[in-house]
Structure 1
Amino acid sequence: MKVAEIRRYPVKSLLGETVSAADVGERGITGDRLWAVRDPDGKFGSGKDTRRFRRMPGLFALRAHTARQAPIVELPDGRRFAADDPDGHRAVSELLTRTVTLTPEDAVPHHDEGPVSLITTAALRRLTELAGAETNGREIDPLRFRANLLIDLPGTGFPEEDWPGGLLRIGPQLVLRPVRKLTRCVMIDMAQDGAARRNDLLKTLARHHSLTFGVFATVEQPGRVTLGDTCSWEKT
């Protein structure tokens, strides 16, 4: 098996970027979800409402790019602002029709569950099979799951769910410790980054797979991940 995609999201719940390589430290991929959109109540923008997060329609109209000091946020009209630029805060607030600021992570990580999220091509094929006729022949774009790493595996099924309790070695340095399955929400069906809106994926996971897809992992040994890196799993 090997690394097929690497994705980074400099601002949580905004569109992100696909990269050919990235450094991975204890917190995860460098710069991933390090910033977030925050409202005056202190809740962070998301596709769902929870104790920490607030659903903010329109976030997927914005894209974030990695930059040295602060991410660059790109609006639909092509304007770009640094995430720490008050003019950008006003422009994003106008787009979302609510007052927000962009803020860096503080004591609590912006990650939903863990530092590094992973999905596999085998699981995507299995989800396509489970969705059946409802897919209308459409492939399921891995970007819907906003995972950091897509691991290419032959066959079909959910092999990554056997990884917790072991170590995943990626390339010459990086070692991850898969922890548990990831619970999914309405965001996987939302239109994003060229992928049209759907209404079947969350229902399919609820019906057949306890609303889970993919796993998250902690970082056992920091290192660099590169597209095409060979991966191996070992039980500990």
Structure 2
Amino acid sequence: MTENVGVIERLWRYPIKSTGGERLRSAEVDHRGMVGDRLYAVRDAEGKFGSGKSTRRFRRMDGLLNLSSRYAQGPAGEPGTPELIDHQGRAVADATAYLRAYLGRDDVELAREGEISHFDQLPLSVLTTATLDWIRREVPDVPTDERRFRPNIFVRTPPGTPPFVEDEWVGRKARVGSTVRIEFLRSSERCVMTNQAQQELPHSPLILKTIVTAHGNRLDMLAGVVTPGRVRVGEPVVLE
């Protein structure tokens, strides 16, 4: 039995991992995820990628979220090398040179994904308005929108939908738009990136603290791609 759980409110792609993303009206999706998403990253001499946290694969590099990235020719096809946008909204001429000066490190470079994935976990992240609205009610004094949680697909759910409805989708497949099919696998374990400042959003430790206390530090739903295709804002998301 199918169930229409909402419509696509916004689509986001993050050409350079851990920088601000670009809003799209439509996007091509392949088995890797949204075409061009996190295809590039800031890489240091040890091969670790710039992130909001330090792990086996990632190196914490504060300030990346104050930058953003975009592809000049739009979402269709092979996107090419992305532009790095500074905190004033200007495209920089040489991304690697700018990053070295900005981060105060001479061992970093803008690098395309190779054998090691730039993804933290799975190809697609899906978040609902029901969950985001709950967070806004819990921390009303902290400006918050979906950019803190970096979804690819932000879904507007019907009035009365409970927060964390995404949890109910684990193990189910969904049709997104007319061609794309995805499978919901698990939620994301959140890190300090949710607290970090980015354009128009100030730093606040209350965001992560609230998620930890109320929902075991997990928020959104991660999915793999079953059938590639194109998705568009305004299209339905239908559970199969």
- TM-score by shorter chain over 0.5: yes
CA distance in 2, matches of 1:89, 1:126: 39
Kindly indicate whether residue 15 of structure 2 is the aligned counterpart of residue 5 of structure 1.
Answer: no
Aligned pairs for 1:157-236 (under 5 A) are 157-234=163-240
CA distance in 1, matches of 2:222, 2:41: 20
- The code of the aligned residue for 2:176 comes to I
SS in 2 for 1:4: strand
Q: CA deviation at 1:92?
A: 1.1
Instruction: Quickly say closer, same or farther: Cα 1:172–1:79, change in 2 above 3 A.
Output: closer
Q: CA deviation at 1:190?
A: 1.1
CA distance in 2, matches of 1:53, 1:225: 30
Aligned pairs for 1:108-119 (under 5 A) are 108-119=116-127
- The code of the aligned residue for 1:112 comes to D
CA distance in 2, matches of 1:187, 1:145: 8
Aligned to 2:148: 144
The partner residue of 1:80 within 92, 97, 106 is 92
CA distance in 2, matches of 1:142, 1:55: 22
Aligned to 1:30: 35
Instruction: Quickly say closer, same or farther: Cα 1:96–1:139, change in 2 above 3 A.
Output: closer
Aligned to 1:84: none
Query: Tell me, which stretches of 5 or more residues in structure 1 are unaligned?
Result: 82-86
- TM-score normalised by the chain length of structure 1: 0.91
Aligned to 2:115: 107
Query: Tell me, which stretches of 5 or more residues in structure 2 are unaligned?
Result: 1-5, 73-78
Aligned to 1:95: 102
- The code of the aligned residue for 1:176 comes to I
- The code of the aligned residue for 1:174 comes to V
CA distance in 1, matches of 2:222, 2:30: 15
Q: CA deviation at 1:108?
A: 2.2
Instruction: Quickly say closer, same or farther: Cα 1:34–1:210, change in 2 above 3 A.
Output: same
Q: CA deviation at 1:178?
A: 0.6
SS in 1 for 2:125: strand
SS in 2 for 1:197: coil
SS in 2 for 1:24: strand
SS in 2 for 1:80: coil
Structure 1 segments, 4+ long, off by >4 Å, are none
Aligned pairs for 1:12-51 (under 5 A) are 12-51=17-56
- The code of the aligned residue for 2:133 comes to R
- The code of the aligned residue for 1:26 comes to H
- The code of the aligned residue for 2:82 comes to P
SS in 2 for 1:127: helix
Alignment RMSD, CA only? 1.4
- The code of the aligned residue for 2:56 comes to R
Kindly indicate whether residue 132 of structure 2 is the aligned counterpart of residue 124 of structure 1.
Answer: yes
- The code of the aligned residue for 2:213 comes to R
Q: CA deviation at 1:223?
A: 1.0
Q: CA deviation at 1:195?
A: 1.4
- The code of the aligned residue for 2:87 comes to P
CA distance in 2, matches of 1:88, 1:185: 26
Instruction: Quickly say closer, same or farther: Cα 1:65–1:219, change in 2 above 3 A.
Output: same
Q: CA deviation at 1:139?
A: 5.5
Q: CA deviation at 1:128?
A: 3.2
Paired positions, count: 225
Q: CA deviation at 1:79?
A: 4.5
Aligned to 1:59: 64
* CA offset digits 1:120-164 (Å, max 9, x no partner): 0111122334x2xx433x563111101101011122321111111
